[in-house]
Amino acid sequence: MKHSIFFHHLPMFLLFLIVLPNSARSHDYLDALSKAILFFEGQRSGFLPQDQRMNWRANSGLSDGWTYNTDLTGGYYDAGDNVKFGFPMAFTTTMLSWSVIEFGDSMPPHELRNALVAIRWATDYLLKTVSQPNRIFVQVIN
């Protein structure tokens, strides 16, 4: 099964962009950070919000979990292949959250909001994967 190399390394990329010394900031790293966060929106699964910036992405995975009588809509696809892997998503979300905790004050307000929305999108889904007693969903394929 293929995995998106970019998705798995995105959190480190975000940390790299934020902690660069001032002398290395001659490039437009804010633009790179904006595009990295926008990448998350392109990988969204579920009912998409009205303010979805990636307008080519439509609602998807709306029946995820129905065979187990569980709502597993939401979260992020791993590599554009309609598979949601729980542990890589949890790691990516943890790293993005850590980046916001450590460096959120340095982010422009609109990008901080986009990062927080990206975190919330993942955590809402991850909470659904552990909502049943004695059961954890770690992979969803639709």
Q: Which residue has the higher pLDDT, 25 or 87?
A: 87
pTM: 0.79
Burial of 136 from C-beta contacts in 10 A (0-12 / 13-18 / 19+) = exposed
Report pLDDT digits (tens) over 73-131.
Answer: 999 998 778 899 999 999 999 988 988 888 888 889 999 999 999 999 999 999 999 99
Please tell me the total count of domains within the chain.
1
SS3 83: strand
Instruction: Work out the pLDDT band at 20, boundaries 50, 70, 90.
Output: low
Query: Which domain does 67 fall in, by range?
Result: 5-18+27-141
Is 8 a residue whose pLDDT tops 80?
A: no
Q: Name the region of 94 (left: φ>0; alpha: ψ -120 to 50; beta: rest).
A: alpha
Q: Name the region of 45 (left: φ>0; alpha: ψ -120 to 50; beta: rest).
A: beta
Residue 82 per-residue DSSP state: S
